[in-house]
Structure 1
Amino acid sequence: MTKLSPIESEFETTEEADAYDAWFRAKIAAALASTKPTIPHDEVMAETRALIQAKRDAAARLAG
């Protein structure tokens, strides 16, 4: 088990880094192979803006 420096990596060991890399690559491969319909960028951005605004509104209500 090789320790990694927190300055150079967010992982404590090379084994953790390798495991994350394998998991991440598998997620990307699955996404690329997916046959699910895509969501248009504008639709995603509109939903994201609405979510951010809802969070801002809730925070403003709590602040008084």
Structure 2
Amino acid sequence: MAKLSPIVSEFASTEEEAAHDAWVRAKVEKALASTAPCIPHEEVIAEMQAILDRHKAPGKY
């Protein structure tokens, strides 16, 4: 197990890094293979803006 420097990597070892990489790649492959309907960009942006607006503290902005 090769240890990684925290300056170079957020992972403690090359095995941890490889496991995370495999997990991310599997998620991407699943998303690309999905047949679920796409959500329009404008709808996603509107939903995210609503979430941000709900979490803004009054008077801070």
* Structure 1, unaligned runs of 5 or more: none
Deviation string 1:20-64 (CA, Å, 9 cap, x unpaired) is 0000000000000000001000000000001000001xx328x9x
Match in the other structure for 1:60: 58
Percent same amino acid among aligned pairs? 57
Query: AA paired with 2:7?
Result: I
* Structure 2, unaligned runs of 5 or more: none
- Give me the whole-angstrom Cα distance separating, in 2, the residues matched to 1:41 and 1:29: 21
Runs of 4+ aligned residues of structure 1 deviating over 2 Å after TM superposition are none
Relative to the length of structure 2, the TM-score reads 0.92
Query: Partner of 1:46: helix, strand, or coil?
Result: helix
* Structure with greater helix percent: 1
Match in the other structure for 1:11: 11
Aligned length: 60
